[in-house]
Structure 1
């Protein structure tokens, strides 16, 4: 008997995995193996334990499929809202009406409690509008520094003062406005702010794909206001 290199469980497992004909020659072994059921202390056969494991795996896959279906349905609903919002911009004839229309339709279509927008560097004919005034150079520099929507708690951003009820803004989404894609190096010519009294509505870990699409569409629509 070789005691220098005793047989280990790994050796046995490798042997059985690489010698499937062993069970053909010793079929009685499969029938005699008894395991403990995870649903109690009773002993079950190997085949029954395998069936239980398979049922558990199927149940896990069913849960994953249901999650995928649920997320898919949610994405369809959001995409429909985005389409209706974009349609409202296309139906807005006067460029001067676009900033307020963009903010208002976001509140309506996406159930956002508050939304506001500021645009700078506009043509002279729009310079008197309230949405083209009251933005500091620091806020403009901050908007240009964003290459993706900022989501998080309200920590005293200037953009909060653009809202009708600044004190009710617990969480924010700040979106720079550019004529091109959101992450382009070109300076922003505006910023859109969304706010909620729910501190978890706009959190730092949330996905921003739809917010990016909103910002890019809004930037493209508002490019008609630029000087």
Structure 2
């Protein structure tokens, strides 16, 4: 630990030297001859000149800054792309005239326009005898609870590797080709159900990934699909 007590040799302390150099960053520009005498040791034990070390530090900082800027630009580009594709999806859903058309449009856009989504499904929980259509999938709430009740319990998005019976319920004949999946419950209100998307890649959908997009789509479905439903939705 460095002592703050005055030194008896009349020389400035290390902290005073450091403070002076910090306040006079151009000191070595006017005293270049000193650079040949100053040495600093790496952890490897090899000595290099202060100028070389300074250049190395600046190069490392520059590379780190470039990496951060590149990452920010990549994220900005991905966000722009996600916004454009989300806008196209929402506009197409608004234009749907029937519930079956709405469901088909949603699943088709999710698979064709969004990277790494290989399968998508929309399942509504109601009495199939009262609600349904040729391509609108409706199942009894009791059946949904029996098959995927553990996934719906939190009422939040779930991402990761699902069990075989869960994949079979959500994606039918495609279940054997799925590596990972994500689902978002449609909060009971106007309608009740779930949106599910899947990838062939087991590592794509993870529990740590963000789910804001799925939450947004589920809210859109809950606000727009009921207007296309025929009869009471129970």
TM-score by length of 2: 0.72
Residue 172 (str. 1) matches residue 172 (str. 2): no
Change (3 A) 1:56 1:144: closer
1:148 aligned to which of 148, 156, 160: 156
Task: Measure the CA separation in 1 of the matches of 2:175 and 2:72.
Answer: 37
CA–CA separation in structure 1 for the residues paired with 2:69 and 2:80: 16
| Structure 1 residues 102-181: aligned runs within 5 Å | 102-111=106-115, 112-121=117-126, 126-127=131-132, 130-133=136-139, 135-139=143-147, 141-142=149-150, 144-158=152-166, 160-163=168-171, 164-178=173-187
Alpha-carbon distance between aligned partners in 1 of 2:69 and 2:110, rounded to the nearest angstrom: 31
- Following TM superposition, by how much is the alpha carbon of 1:37 offset from its aligned partner in structure 2, in angstroms? 7.2
Cα separation, 2, equivalents of 1:63 and 1:149: 31
Matches of 2:59 and 2:69 in 1, distance apart?
15
Q: 5 Å matches for 1:59-98?
A: 59-98=63-102
How far did residue 61 of structure 1 move?
A: 0.4
Segments of structure 1 that go 5 or more residues without pairing to the other structure are 180-185
Aligned residues of 1:144 and 1:188 also touching (Cα < 8 A): no
Change (3 A) 1:110 1:191: same
Give runs of aligned pairs for residues 189-200 of structure 1, distance below 5 A.
189-200=192-203
Q: How far did residue 219 of structure 1 move?
A: 2.3
Compared CA separation, residues 137 and 48, structure 1 to 2 (3 A) = closer
1:58/1:38 Cα in 2 relative to 1: closer, same or farther (>3 Å)? Answer: farther
Separation of aligned partners in 2, 1:91 and 1:56 = 53
Change in CA separation of 1:22 and 1:206 when aligned onto 2, cut-off 3 Å: closer
Question: Unmatched 5+ residue regions in structure 2?
Answer: none
Give, in whole Å, the separation in 1 of the partners of 2:52 and 2:219. 57
Give the conservation status (yes or no) of the 8 Å contact 2:123–2:195.
yes
Superposition deviation, residue 67 in structure 1? 1.3
1:222 counterpart (221, 225, 233): 225
The alignment yields a C-alpha RMSD, in angstroms, of 3.7
Count of aligned pairs? 212
Give TM-score, length-normalised by structure 1. Answer: 0.74
In the other structure, the counterpart of 1:15 is 16
Matches of 1:198 and 1:140, distance apart in 2: 21
The residue number in structure 1 matching 2:39 is 34
Q: Is the 8 A contact 1:96 1:126 kept in 2?
A: no
